[in-house]
Structure 1
Amino acid sequence: MTNLNKVSITKTDILLIGTAFVAYTGMYAVRKSFLAGQFEDFEIIGGFHYKTILIISQVIGYMLSKFIGIKVVSEVAGKDRFKVLVGLVAFGLAMLLAFAYLPANLKPVALFFNGLPLGMIFGLVLVYLEGRRNSELLVAGLSATFIFSTGFVKSIGIWLMQEFQVSELMMPFMTGLVFFPLFVLAVYFLSVSKGPDDMDKQLRTERVSMGSTERKDFLKRHGFSFLGLVLIYVLLTVVRDFRDNFIVEFWGDLGMSDQPSLMTLTEIPIAVVVLIISALGILVLSNQKAFLLGMAATFISAVLMIITTLLFQEKMVGPVFWMISSGFSVYLPYILFHCLVFERFIALLKYRGTVGFLFYIADAFGYLASVGIMIYKEISGFNYSWVNFFTQLNLIGGMLMAFLVLISLIMVQSDRAKVRIRKLMKLYSGG
């Protein structure tokens, strides 16, 4: 038992962190690079800004990909994962080339098909990292791409346009093409990495593919407590996605559109701090304590989101501080859900399955809500600027998250009690 109490980082862990980070950054270059453009030369269609139409089109494809991924990510065999990953991203890249040349009315269609395969990438990469005693560290490294790479990719896109006169329409494809060889190389190294060992399986339960029967069984047994976590994750996705999609417009509203480096520089401190906090989860061996700490951090982040936004509204803090603090408030719990909360939730219930199944249910509904929020902003008649709308989203989202954390803790404790009762009944009956 002594070995079970040791925390050590192996060469395999370091390889997995690096390759997962590079792989997902490569996917981000194919998915997020078009956001570096503003597409002001295109006409407003039906009251919708053209860029908003492009974003909604891609996110709808990405959202459908999450629903498809509930099945695909849960079932895809390990030997096929490399080919599937490369094929999906290559298809998304090809759609960016189509986007550059198609007429204006068909460009949103190209972005829909660009997003359609890319929503499954995270789950297929995650399978290499979950179910290990150092999973928090590994997935924190992967999740850092959510913060750092989105700004980095957009900065590269703007740089290509400014320094090499790449057109706004060709820029997304060229940015994705720059990163694609690195993506393929990283996925190859992931595919030949070592899987979880016996100690990992003892601490986190064995992770296995889940067919239709297993997925239905999990929802039947634990769907009630899982629902609360999904609702929190949906709110985090909405706030995070809106911030990410329109960060160029936010800086424009704040009078700083001439400083593209801000999109990377403001995200670096967020990425570093969130990565360190999330990675420290490996020090907490108790699944129950780790889960509770993750939920406590989510509650504190929700409160911080509310306070810093109120301070910004009252002009008591500047825009750079607010963008960093609001980013930290959403990204810390968002990444903790990826690398700790869902991971420890399934380990806490001692359920043999894959955490990717949990993510893809939560992600699917998260992106569905994200599309709904963007459409609502366009058709609601609100005359808010991007920044004003985002401040309202922060305030409402923060309050709802704080409430849902408390409700979810009660639901999970109730579910755990039912698990213990079932075990005692099984022992009593001799089963």
Structure 2
Amino acid sequence: MKIKFTKQEWSTALYAALVAFCLYTCLFSFRKAFNVAAYSGHSLFGLDYKIVLVITQVMGYMASKFYGIRFIAEMKRIGRGQLILILTGISWFSWLAFALLPAPYNFWCLFFNGFPLGMLWGIVFSYVEGRRMTDLISAALAVSFIFGSGLSKSVAAFTMSTWQVSEYWMPFITGAIFAGPLLLFVYLVEKLPPPTEKDVAHRTMRLPMKKEDRRKLLREYGTGLFFLIMVYILVTILREVRDSFMADMWRESGDVFNSSVFAQTETIISLVMLLIIASMVMVRNNKRAFNITHLIMAVGFLLSLLMTLAYKQQIINTWWWMLSVGMGLYLVYIPFNSILFERFIASFRISGNVGFLIYLADAFGYLGSVAVLLSKTVLQIELSWLQFYTNLVMITGVSGLLATLISIRFFNKKPVQKQADLS
């Protein structure tokens, strides 16, 4: 039976999608803008200063994700807008401290930038989960990862090249540019109506999860979740290295580089991801959608692997490689953060919320990122970031594809409760 939505559902979903996309794009500017700068001329603990900055921020993000496993799982649905502004304000003033304190001894500011920002995904996603149109809304929210990262870097590069803002003040100034729009979109997301009775019947009621609820879920589905978390660790590592050192890799490649390249590649990827993920709203059967999501992820790993082989053979240039590997990476990362656990909960009729599962995966994903960044620097692996990343893509492509196939096999052996037959 063809799935049907009312005009009211379409208008609510499009409103939510636009607001969620714009909101998280604004939030991204408080985290990723600094990556565009080189921060050369300093070292700390025997390490390059920029690497110390990246690792420190990721450690803050990682600590936030571990804390968020419980906090987001048990979070009530009140006061969320105010919480978004408080957490973003802390991260923004961390950039002010970063600008005022002398380098390289201001590195610790990035921990206090990363920690509050790590809580925001779970808070924002709580506005959109548990709806028949969640796939469409979360697609827009998730592609803001890509678009927001590219836009914030382009704006940051513009402030330095056109306004002559120093690389230390650049993150704070970039945040200031997005502060006004952030206030507007927090206000607008608070106006989003709750899920309807049809939404609840099809996707289940989304509830806070106590400790026993979380333990019960892990006992029943722990093996499959283990392999999914392995997948997420791999793509989080790739994404963190790509986002943090994309500019450095462009410089090392020898190809022509300008600041607009970030917005170019990430906008193209964003549009493709939006079309793919949003189209999943038309798949009514939750279990079928869950399986299709696994297949999309497998295609992403395969694409990254094949295009990296082509790049190593000089069949494609750096621009096409960055675009295609980014596409492959986000074919895994975006479904994971938008529809995978949404459809998992709906398929198996679980009483809980997506936030717990996302933060469980995120915590170990960022732990893996910290481990890889430290291994590259502390162990002094004699590879450029470009060489290191290409090798990482190859390893991840094979390992991730295998883990995805094991996961889908496990979950297909689990019984599925009959879902509501709504059209």
Distance 2:360 2:168 in 1: 33
Equivalent residue, structure 2, for 1:353: 352
Distance 2:84 2:300 in 1: 33
Matched, 1:37 2:37: yes
Equivalent residue, structure 2, for 1:373: 372
Equivalent residue, structure 1, for 2:421: none
Matched, 1:210 2:213: no
| 1:5-404 paired onto structure 2 within 5 Å | 5-7=3-5, 10-42=10-42, 44-256=43-255, 258-404=257-403
Q: Tell me the TM-score normalized by structure 2.
A: 0.95
Distance 1:381 1:193 in 2: 50
Deviation at 1:258, TM superposition (A): 4.4
Deviation at 1:257, TM superposition (A): 6.5
Distance 2:28 2:324 in 1: 23
Structure 1, 392-401 or 222-231: larger mean CA deviation: 222-231
Distance 1:320 1:32 in 2: 20
Deviation at 1:265, TM superposition (A): 0.6
Deviation at 1:230, TM superposition (A): 1.1
Structure 1, 177-186 or 208-217: larger mean CA deviation: 208-217
Deviation at 1:256, TM superposition (A): 4.5
Distance 2:52 2:256 in 1: 21
Which amino acid counterpart does residue 407 of structure 1 have in structure 2?
I
Distance 1:359 1:265 in 2: 29
Distance 1:136 1:109 in 2: 38
How many residues are aligned here? Answer: 416
Deviations 1:22-63 (A, max 9, x none): 211121111111112110132x23442110100100110011
Deviations 1:168-224 (A, max 9, x none): 100100001110121122112112210110111111111111122222222222222
Uncovered stretches (5+) of structure 1, i.e. residues with no partner: 424-431
Deviations 1:208-250 (A, max 9, x none): 1112222222222222221121111111111111111111101
Which amino acid counterpart does residue 160 of structure 1 have in structure 2?
T
Deviations 1:43-84 (A, max 9, x none): x23442110100100110011111111122122222221111
Distance 1:220 1:108 in 2: 40
**Partner of 1:32: helix, strand, or coil?**
helix
Distance 1:129 1:196 in 2: 8
RMSD: 1.6
Deviation at 1:7, TM superposition (A): 3.9
**Partner of 2:102: helix, strand, or coil?**
coil
Deviation at 1:105, TM superposition (A): 4.0
Which amino acid counterpart does residue 306 of structure 2 have in structure 1?
I
Check whether the contact 1:233–1:362 (CA below 8 A) recurs between aligned residues.
Answer: yes
**Partner of 1:5: helix, strand, or coil?**
coil
Equivalent residue, structure 2, for 1:426: none
Distance 1:209 1:188 in 2: 24
- Counting aligned pairs with the same residue, the percent is 36
Which amino acid counterpart does residue 28 of structure 2 have in structure 1?
Y
**Partner of 1:164: helix, strand, or coil?**
coil
Check whether the contact 1:309–1:395 (CA below 8 A) recurs between aligned residues.
Answer: yes
Structure 1, 110-119 or 218-227: larger mean CA deviation: 218-227
Which amino acid counterpart does residue 112 of structure 1 have in structure 2?
F
Structure 1, 252-261 or 287-296: larger mean CA deviation: 252-261
Deviation at 1:304, TM superposition (A): 1.3
> Structure 1 260/105 Cα, relative in aligned 2: closer, same or farther at 3 Å?
closer
Distance 1:21 1:171 in 2: 23
Deviation at 1:343, TM superposition (A): 1.0
Structure 1, 29-38 or 89-98: larger mean CA deviation: 29-38
Structure 1, 275-284 or 375-384: larger mean CA deviation: 375-384
Deviations 1:323-378 (A, max 9, x none): 10000000012101122211111111110110111000000100110111111111
Check whether the contact 2:375–2:381 (CA below 8 A) recurs between aligned residues.
Answer: no
Deviations 1:294-313 (A, max 9, x none): 11111122111111101100
Distance 1:31 1:254 in 2: 25
Distance 2:197 2:378 in 1: 54
Check whether the contact 2:49–2:104 (CA below 8 A) recurs between aligned residues.
Answer: no
Structure 1, 246-255 or 397-406: larger mean CA deviation: 246-255
Distance 2:33 2:285 in 1: 40
Deviation at 1:255, TM superposition (A): 2.8
Distance 1:106 1:390 in 2: 28
Structure 1, 312-321 or 256-265: larger mean CA deviation: 256-265
Uncovered stretches (5+) of structure 2, i.e. residues with no partner: 419-423
Distance 1:7 1:282 in 2: 10
Q: Tell me the TM-score normalized by structure 1.
A: 0.93
Which amino acid counterpart does residue 254 of structure 2 have in structure 1?
G
Equivalent residue, structure 2, for 1:408: 407
Which amino acid counterpart does residue 30 of structure 1 have in structure 2?
F
Deviation at 1:410, TM superposition (A): 2.0
Equivalent residue, structure 2, for 1:429: none
